[in-house]
Structure 1
Amino acid sequence: MKLSRKILALAAAPLLALGMAACGSAAGDEGAPVKIGVVGASDPYWATYTEAAKAEGIDVEIVDFGEYTLPNPALTEGELDLNQFQHIVYLARYNVSAGEDLTPVGSTAIYPLGLYSTQYDSVEEIPDGATVAIPNDESNLSRGLLVLQSAGLVTLEGGGSAFSTLDEIDEAKSKVKVTTLEASLTPTSLPDVAAAIINNDFVEDAGLKFEDAIAQDDPSDPAAIPYVNIFAARAGEENNETYLKLVEIYQNTQSVQDGVQEASGNTAEFLKVPAEDLRTSLAKVQKDIEARG
């Protein structure tokens, strides 16, 4: 998930963002800007995007959040009009756990999830019994475990899935121990662990480069589609013409795409998945989550 970036602002940014979203005109009021919640508003491409939208007659306000757990509740409560920070699996887990029905209105890009280390130059160098940190939110936890498995560091019972948990690690067949941390904290754990799964939003803030990853998943794999990042809205607003235009501006403005690519260290793979296909995928993932209890 692409799935703000500034770790030192984590404590203040969520409160500031929510305060900003709660003030001024209510979402949808005539003349009010479209409020889009993101994680990583400091990325320059958001200013480029805002300018591109204004050129099309749409005022956009980017509302920054310091962690992934905040933009969906803010959207649910009407403090935002859209958010753009998550993939389908993350949204599905939110909808099921919160009993909500937020819905995709368009796709952006898919990003590989990488494993980083400041102690070892390759996966092979990581010693038996070492500890590796992964994000603790359910969707990235599962995806992180799959990255570790593909790297030969853990073995998951049943082969693993988008819903794998720590309980599915076959410790007898695994090379490392796994610990979980809030996603923004995995970079700061690097001095204390052999390696860590770090979401793209926090890689550069940790003083790392995307090419430093010693392992990552394959975003071109069809099975990775549930991890495509999306614009999300409240149910019933998926056909809002302004929102659809904003998706189109993101997808078709070269300067925006160039900015996204630069911010991602050239790891982004842009996808124009039909919105109906996104919603079908969301429904399937939600059904799978509910079936697992």
Structure 2
Amino acid sequence: MPDTSPTDPTSGSPDLIEAPRRRRWPLVLGGLVALAVVAGVLVATTGGDDDTTAAGGETVRIGVVGASDPYWATYQEAAADEGIDVEIVDFADYNQPNPAVAEGELDLNQFQHIVFLADYNVATGEDLQPIGATAIYPLGLHSKQYDAVEDIPDGATVAVPDDASNQARALVLLQSAGLIELKSGGTIFSDLADVDTDASRVQVEALAAALTATSLDDLAGAVVNNDFVERAGLDFDDALAQDDPSDSAALPYANVFAARADDLDDPTYQRLVEIYQETQAVQDGVVEVSGGTAVMLDTPVEQLQASLAEVEADTRDQG
């Protein structure tokens, strides 16, 4: 995920997903989508005709950040084709959509990954739950000297971002690539102290996220946040390794639709998740807006909920 500084959600340069900093609320999230710079709720965007309503004649209100992304209009049209009226409510602040769902002002939201949701639940005592996966935005390992992970020599130095929100994910990526071993096995709280240096192939150095890419001339490799890949003249496709969405360690970074726990079995909500996952134009639109980095997911709900429970437990332990 990119740096944690705010970016304009209309810029078309999405961030990668990142774990939140240690136990704090409110959070500033980078990654699912770019963070808006203007606080407050924007004007809601509505779709569908008056006669295209959900079961019971009610409109389903979904909170998002970045409703101007074209795929949301496509999604509304696909839902309307099945008789479901969807109202997309656009927020400019990541701290608002979860309380809005909890208080019943929204039916669903789709803007966050599991780690963010877990931190919110633990901090507030709420019980919002994922009802479906959307996408994960891979974090990549880049190199100017080597063309493959196996070419990186033992003892070489690889850089990771120095902020806690990105460092844990970068270390898990290096472990998945076979370059290091983490004493904990890899968690959302891993840091340099978690690296088993005797069992690792490379040395790990922490640099400011903005410097990992620009320091590649002096490094064997670096985990580069999404925001800095193209700025540094790198290509997303040239990454030697990236998060594997099928890896259980990457699951907490999956973006999800979230609902109140009492609404998990609502058939209309479940169908709306399926429409998002099954409508090719929606899927293509998400990938396009992400600059081709998004990996679309249809992870079973049971796995998402189990991951949330695990991250919540870990977050409480850290407190």
Q: Same fold (TM over 0.5)?
A: yes
Q: Which one has the bigger helix percentage?
A: 1
The 1:252–1:286 alpha-carbon spacing in structure 2 relative to 1, beyond 3 Å, is: same
Tell me by how many angstroms 1:52 deviates.
1.6
Q: Which residue of 2 aligns with 1:216?
A: 242
RMSD, matched Cα:
4.3
Q: Which residue of 2 aligns with 1:271?
A: 298
> How far apart, in 2, do the equivalents of 1:12 and 1:225 lie?
22
> How far apart, in 2, do the equivalents of 1:223 and 1:120 lie?
28
The one-letter amino acid of 1:143's match is R
> How far apart, in 1, do the equivalents of 2:238 and 2:170 lie?
17
* 1:114-155 residue CA offsets vs partner (Å, 9 max, x unmatched): 2346x6665639x95675326643xx5422211133446655
Q: Which one of 177, 190, 205 corresponds to residue 177 of structure 1?
A: 205
Q: Which residue of 1 aligns with 2:52?
A: none
Work out which of the two has the higher radius of gyration on C-alpha atoms and give 1 or 2: 2
Matched ranges for 1:1-293 at <5 A:
4=9, 6=11, 13-16=36-39, 18-20=40-42, 34-38=61-65, 40-56=66-82, 57-65=84-92, 71-73=97-99, 75-76=101-102, 80-116=106-142, 124=152, 131-133=159-161, 136-137=164-165, 140-151=166-177, 155-169=181-195, 175-179=203-207, 186=209, 188-189=210-211, 192-194=214-216, 195-199=222-226, 209-264=235-290, 265=292, 268-273=295-300, 275-293=301-319
Q: In 2, are the aligned partners of 1:22 and 1:79 still within 8 Å (CA)? A: no
Tell me by how many angstroms 1:263 deviates.
4.1
SS of equivalent residue, structure 2 residue 41: helix
Q: Which residue of 1 aligns with 2:50?
A: none
Among all aligned residue pairs of Structure 1 and Structure 2, give the percentage whose two residues are the same amino acid. 48
Give me the TM-score of the superposition, normalised by structure 1: 0.69
Tell me by how many angstroms 1:165 deviates.
3.0
Q: In 2, are the aligned partners of 1:189 and 1:196 still within 8 Å (CA)? A: no
Number of residues of Structure 1 aligned to a counterpart in Structure 2 = 272
The 1:97–1:144 alpha-carbon spacing in structure 2 relative to 1, beyond 3 Å, is: farther
The one-letter amino acid of 2:63's match is I
* 1:158-191 residue CA offsets vs partner (Å, 9 max, x unmatched): 44334323442457865232146xxxxx4x5456
Tell me by how many angstroms 1:211 deviates.
0.9
The 1:112–1:157 alpha-carbon spacing in structure 2 relative to 1, beyond 3 Å, is: same
The one-letter amino acid of 2:310's match is K
The one-letter amino acid of 1:177's match is E
Tell me by how many angstroms 1:62 deviates.
4.8
The 1:238–1:108 alpha-carbon spacing in structure 2 relative to 1, beyond 3 Å, is: same
The 1:70–1:106 alpha-carbon spacing in structure 2 relative to 1, beyond 3 Å, is: same
Tell me by how many angstroms 1:279 deviates.
2.2
SS of equivalent residue, structure 1 residue 15: coil
Which runs of 5 or more structure 2 residues have no equivalent in the other structure? 15-29, 47-56, 217-221
The one-letter amino acid of 1:236's match is D
The one-letter amino acid of 1:270's match is L
> How far apart, in 2, do the equivalents of 1:189 and 1:74 lie?
37
SS of equivalent residue, structure 2 residue 313: helix
> How far apart, in 1, do the equivalents of 2:167 and 2:269 lie?
31
Q: In 1, are the aligned partners of 2:79 and 2:272 still within 8 Å (CA)? A: yes
Tell me by how many angstroms 1:32 deviates.
5.9
Which runs of 5 or more structure 1 residues have no equivalent in the other structure? 25-29, 181-185
The 1:70–1:148 alpha-carbon spacing in structure 2 relative to 1, beyond 3 Å, is: farther
The 1:205–1:249 alpha-carbon spacing in structure 2 relative to 1, beyond 3 Å, is: farther
Tell me by how many angstroms 1:69 deviates.
5.7
The 1:58–1:193 alpha-carbon spacing in structure 2 relative to 1, beyond 3 Å, is: farther
